[in-house]
Amino acid sequence: MRAHEGGGAQEEKTGRRRWRPLRRIDYPRRGRRGVRRWLPSWRQLLLVAGLGAMVLTGWLARFYMITEVPDDLNSFATQQNNVYYWADGTEMARIGEINRQEVPLDRVPQPVQWAVLAAENETFYSDPGISITGIGRAVYQMGSGGDTQGGSTITQQYVKNIYLNQRQDISRKLSEIVIAIKLDQRMSKQDILAGYLNTSWFGRGSYGIERAAAAYYGKDVSQLDPSEGAFLAALLKGAGQLDPAISADNRRRAEERWSWILDRMVEVGRLSAAERAEYTVFPEPRPQPKAAGLSGQVGYLVDMARAYVESHSDITSAQLDLGGHQIYTTFEKPKVSALAAVVQDATKGIDPGNRDADRFLRVGAASVAPDGRIVALYGGPDYLKQGFNSANTSTVPVGSAFTPLVYAAGLSQGVQRQRGGSRTPVLPTTTYNGDNGVNVMTPEGPYWGRDGKIVKTANDGKRDWGTVTLRSAVEQSVNGPMMQLGMDVGLDRVQKTAADLGLLPVSMGELAPAFGVGNSTPSAIRTADAYAAFAAGGSHTDPYSVLRITRNGAPLALRLPTAVQALTPAVAGDVDAALKDAVRTGSAKPAAEAGPDLAGKPGTTADRTAGWFVGYNGQMSTAVTVFRADLKDMKLLSLEGLGGAAPDTPDSALPTQIWTSYMKTAGGQDGRGEARGR
């Protein structure tokens, strides 16, 4: 046998050659026995370590290259509340699963920013997004089952907030590190800090320092002092363990960390010793406030405001759901509260358990200012129990409360009693036959109904009034002349006047004689708005519920209605005079006790399925409607015997009572509140 260099050993056996390669790595080690045979040499150890380092480096390089900053943020991190405000700028409701509201960094005072940085990452402005020593400490703590928070920079924590889950393992930690490095190269430090402050959890359901400031101190973040900022910074360590309201142990821990953070601010040169000496008393947070919910009337108001935003701006429903909007409504809290209290008091005698006539009672009411602002409404006893908004329904006939609109149309358009004849002007002193059961006439003759009979007028109580002026017919609620006036003016012209005054086309009734006495079904909101034009010299503005809208403080475009001259001032003045006399001496006289200079009109229907009262003073117009309906099918039921009343009690009695009591309470309030910026 002969050795061949670089090859192996060649030997011959039975005439055949076989090569055996030389072992490149002497392992197991030759010439060793026992355990030593299996122990690697130091050269072998170095070789293995070098190879391992090369593989790890290559793997890390590839991991770095393939790990991208995600395009999609955690919905948890980007979702915010939509905040609704009363007309005076105070908060009404906060809608959204997460209590978060974004603020720009310049709204956060510098001492508050540095309280966070001193506690969490004092080298934030100089590090590359990670801390090597911090990572080493985190790996050790993670390996020993400890908390990794202490090893994370602000940038890493921000990455965890908006891109990653909260799981603690090597893979997630490596992703956090890589994304943090790349994010630090892509974003400014100011943007990263702002993002961190706006996405971190501070306890009490609050994400972001703006909502934390409100939850703990009832302040905007811009109003925080260094001491309060130090406490909020302390909460980042673990709000559940540091909220003083939870336990005495929490309070002790909170005070210790608060004090430590103030001392750290001195150490890093962001708070002078003299300033530190001023903060020796722990800044006691206020008790945890109750969340503003949708109970009572608030849910109806929020639904209406949201619907207005979606229909009068370029904000889609999906965009609105992302949150971050501040919606400043027209609703005045004192009036909303007063209206709800009055309805509750007026319906105390309703007993649906023992009286069938009281079952399914619905009350809807709305107050609208002459400029179209909806200042109050009553949608039902509680939004959480009855989501259906009775103030905004378009299924209840308005009845004889519609007749002032017919009167306005007659005064504006005149009448035409003969086919092809000229139109004749109508004055408040124009007379009509006020008896009950008079044939309804067209230019061609009597109006024949579908039943083959001549349609006749019908007054409340079938009362005969003889010859009456149109003004008296409005004042005394004589329905017959109003039905005939509608026919004489032309029902299409009456319909046009009603539309000019804000009634929606979908709510208009059939153009038949009953149109003049209210077969249309406008909501309480639209009816109140139409009457408001009588008090405003004929100027009409569509009702609206939102004053302005912002997102994270930046204003967004909102299309608000503009005033139009629906009636001449003279016509509006004539209608106004008739409605004021109705309160002084006519059918609305029970409402006179609410105060002087009121105008109003009760409303009833021929089938007794709805009762109304609509009226106004100089500041607002209010409509109240009462009806009975099972919300499953919305079939209207008779109001006869409601509340145990005698059969001949007018169906307008309860709405008149509600309107009168409400005007006593809220009618004199000059409640227009300007929404404050936030």
Q: What is the 3-state secondary structure (H, E, C) of 264-280?
A: HHHHCCCCCHHHHHHCC
- Reference 293, options 451, 58, 81, 54; nearest CA is 81
Helix, strand, coil share (%) of the chain residues, nearest 5 = 45, 15, 40
Q: Does domain 98-278 have CATH number 3.30.70.520?
A: no
Q: Measure the CA–CA gap between 624 and 674, rounded to whole angstroms.
A: 26
Domain ranges of the chain: 26-66, 98-278
Task: Give the E-state strand segments of 513-616 in sequence order.
Answer: 539-540, 546-551, 554-556, 564-565, 599-604, 610-616
Provide the pLDDT for residue 285: 95
What's residue 320's pLDDT? 85
**Which stretches of the chain score pLDDT less than 70?**
1-27, 29, 31, 33, 35-38, 42, 44, 47, 52-53, 55-79, 97, 129, 132-151, 163-176, 289-292, 668-678
The burial class, CB within 10 Å (0-12 / 13-18 / 19+), for 300 is buried
CA distance 319 to 463: 58
Q: Give the separation between CA 178 and CA 175, rounded to whole angstroms.
A: 5
What pLDDT score does 459 carry? 93
The Cα 113–Cα 261 span in angstroms is 12
Residue 206's φ and ψ, nearest 5 degrees, are -105, 125
Q: Give me the pLDDT at residue 262, please.
A: 96
Instruction: Report pLDDT for 675.
Output: 40
**Per the omega criterion (within 30 degrees of 0), is the bond before 28 cis?**
yes
Task: Please tell me the distance from the alpha carbon of residue 594 to that of residue 657, in angstroms, as a whole number.
Answer: 10
Residues 284 and 229: their CA atoms lie apart, in Å, by 12
Task: Give the span between the Cα atoms of 187 and 184, in whole angstroms.
Answer: 6
Question: Where are any strands of DSSP class E within 229-384?
Answer: 325-329, 361-368, 374-378
Residue 422: count other Cβ atoms within 10 Å of its Cβ. 7
pLDDT of residue 565: 98
**SS3 (DSSP) at 417:** coil
Please count the other Cβ atoms lying within 10 Å of the Cβ belonging to residue 409. 28
pLDDT for res 12: 45
What does the pLDDT read at residue 52? Answer: 67
SS3 375: strand
For residue 651, give the nearest of 396, 277, 292, 332 by alpha carbon: 396
Query: Measuring CA to CA, how many Å separate 607 from each of 398, 630, 636?
Result: 12, 17, 10
| Tokens describing residue 63 | 């991991």
Q: pTM here? A: 0.76
**How many beta carbons lie within 10 A of that of residue 276, not counting itself?**
16
Backbone angles phi, psi at 141, to 5 degrees: -65, -40
pLDDT at 71: 53
Give the side-chain half-sphere CA count within 13 A for 191.
Answer: 7
